Amino acid sequence: MDPSLLPTLNSCPQRLGDFVTLAEALDYAAEGITGFNFHDGRGVVTQVLPYRLLRRDALAVARRLLQAGLQRGDRVAIVAETHPDVITAFFGCQYAGLVPALVPLPAAFGGREVYVEHIRRLCLTSRASALFVPEAMRDWLAPFAREAGLKAFGSVAALPDGPDDGRVLMPIQADETAYLQFSSGSTRFPAGIKVTQRALMANIGAILRHGLRVAPEDRAVSWLPLYHDMGLVGFMLAPLAGQVTVDFLSSQEFARRPHVWLRLLSANRGTLSYSPSFGYELCVRRARLGMAKGPPLDLSAWRVAGIGGDMIRAPVLARFAETFAADGFREKAFVPSYGMAEATLAVSFAPLGTGVATDTVDLDQLEREGIAKPATSGSQRTRAFALCGLPVPGTEVEIRQAAGFPWPERSLPEREVGRILVRGPGLMRDYDQQPEESAAALSSDGWLDTGDLGYLLNGHLVITGRAKDLIIVNGRNVWPQDLEWSVEQAVASVRTGDAAAFAVEEDGMEQVVMLIEARGLSDSDARAKLVADAAGTLRARHGLEARIILAPPGSLPHTSSGKLSRVAARARYLAGAFTTPAPVLEPVAQ
């Protein structure tokens, strides 16, 4: 391991999140020698931020923010690049009694104007009084900062530093809002989720002690964006509250060079790291290209290879395990889990050291009756779902009827698919300034409607999809992920994430539409073949007639956390945003 990096083993006894607030957690972590390391796209360490230094700098930023005129409870928007200044500003808010809100970096597609408008709306929605941005983006957002009359704007380093006026800092208290976490926005414009210190520390404690069972020998490695709940809570706040050292790689660098993530795990003996399924698939598809040079890969220390943030695809994980088994990766290191920002982060974890357990069900019965009946030799079509484990201590999960509000009192028995409800100490307080949205999501007796569908199996949670994405055709409940997965596996030119399926109403009937990003197919015959192959796959495997529309690479909409937004894709399709350069296959008579 590079001697310039912060160490794994600490100099003070480990405490696993047993603090009242984040400020208290940092005060304790600062007594040790661990902290955050930041790496460039080659895996070279560029900056280190010991928790001791983070506390010192955060206290200084807190005083400068108050000197700039911010008042207790004011909101501070921070463009969340993977950089020490972002973390320092976040904790400066904790010490000053301010409420930080991390907002995303520009997406690869969309353009400057779209991004500026998005940040403008997020700042107005959160009532931000200050906005911190990377220096390179200052000119982009300066007009908005002037228009909004922000009390502070620019980079953290450029924040004016006046003389110490001797004021006493009063950090955020247990029942105050720790931060605003913007929802992923897969079905609407992102809402500000208010997470209290009490809820945050309860969830962090459950993650450290139960979900991951963190020990002094643990070291985390992460490329997840800090504006997403899995990156923010899972790999910034929870490690700090457990005094764990973290090696950071930016999401942009991971997308360009996924092998660097594995190199960091290998070189630094990383034990804890998470990714959605697509990250593991990207490594299988591209990582070997970066492995030709350098020392042999050693992933034997990686004991928690977590999966979350999207649907868990067991075949993708099996390919990763097979590809990197020779490098010491153990398939049983996989840890499926389920969570969401409205629950701070974690709801359930699969047992450690067991790998991915799946439940293979009869797909016809699932679609027609909503029952996850185990598949038999006579099943015509089957579907394997990953088990996401038992709820963390103190958290309850129930499956209730998929339709209706308020929810019925009776929960559904095991293997019946319904809406997933969660209750526990880690739930959000509400959606900021959105009482109707809050009332629709939170019941009077403390249950959160997650908007996800699933079922229970021996107490373990199984996710089947998003309620708003569900396609209903001829009395069948069809999950768009199944349609997309079938095409991605059957048609060689279609990569994971290149397809989006949804339904529209035409002449009183449900019409299934699939958008597919056509990569490198300039020949009209090749494009026509792609359309025919995709439509034929859906007809043969799912008994559905679908309209296939080819779209330009990179044109499918995604949320700030990288999830495919089928709702946005459908809206754009209905608005005429997608056209097809190949023949559209209409339904045929059966």
- In order along its 590 residues, the chain shows pLDDT tens digits of 788 899 999 999 999 999 999 999 999 999 999 999 999 999 999 999 999 999 999 999 999 999 999 999 999 999 999 999 999 999 999 999 999 999 998 875 557 888 899 899 999 999 999 999 999 999 999 999 999 999 999 999 889 887 777 778 999 999 999 999 997 654 456 789 999 999 999 999 999 999 999 999 999 999 999 999 999 999 999 999 999 999 999 999 998 999 999 999 999 999 999 999 889 989 998 866 666 677 899 999 999 999 987 789 898 999 999 999 999 999 999 999 999 999 999 999 999 999 999 999 999 999 999 999 999 999 998 999 999 999 999 999 999 986 655 555 678 999 999 999 999 999 999 999 999 999 989 999 999 999 899 999 999 999 998 888 888 887 788 888 889 989 988 998 888 888 999 988 787 677 899 999 988 777 788 888 899 999 999 998 888 889 999 998 888 887 766 678 888 888 888 888 886 443 333 333 33
Is residue 516 a contact partner of residue 499, using CB atoms and an 8 Å limit?
A: yes
Q: What pLDDT does residue 162 have?
A: 75
Query: Please, which residues have CB within 8 angstroms of residue 89's CB and are 6 or more apart in sequence?
Result: 61, 76, 78, 100, 132, 156
Same fold for the pair 22-256 and 470-574: no
Which CATH number fits the domain 470-574, given the four candidates 3.40.50.720, 3.30.300.30, 3.40.50.150, 2.40.30.30? 3.30.300.30
Query: Please, which residues have CB within 8 angstroms of residue 542's CB and are 6 or more apart in sequence?
Result: 381, 478, 482, 483, 486
* CA separation for the pair 114, 118 (Å, rounded): 6
Is residue 123 a contact partner of residue 189, using CB atoms and an 8 Å limit?
A: no
Domain spanning 22-256, CATH architecture: 3-Layer(aba) Sandwich (3.40)
Backbone angles phi, psi at 122, to 5 degrees: -65, -40
pTM: 0.87
Helix axes 197-206, 22-29, angle to 10 degrees: 50
Q: What pLDDT does residue 584 have?
A: 39
Identify which of 183, 444, 461, 198 has the alpha carbon closest to the alpha carbon of residue 347: 461
Q: CA torsion 426→431→435→440, rounded to 10°?
A: -70
Identify which of 43, 87, 557 has the alpha carbon closest to the alpha carbon of residue 253: 43
Q: What pLDDT does residue 455 have?
A: 97
Q: What pLDDT does residue 579 have?
A: 65
Q: What pLDDT does residue 163 have?
A: 75
Q: What pLDDT does residue 520 have?
A: 74
Q: What pLDDT does residue 406 have?
A: 55
* CA separation for the pair 265, 324 (Å, rounded): 13
Domain ranges of the chain: 22-256, 470-574
- Structural tokens at position 377: 């030799």
Q: Is 488 helix (H, G, I), strand (E, B) or coil?
A: helix
Identify which of 242, 199, 195, 248 has the alpha carbon closest to the alpha carbon of residue 225: 248
Cite the DSSP H helix spans in 475-543: 480-490, 524-542
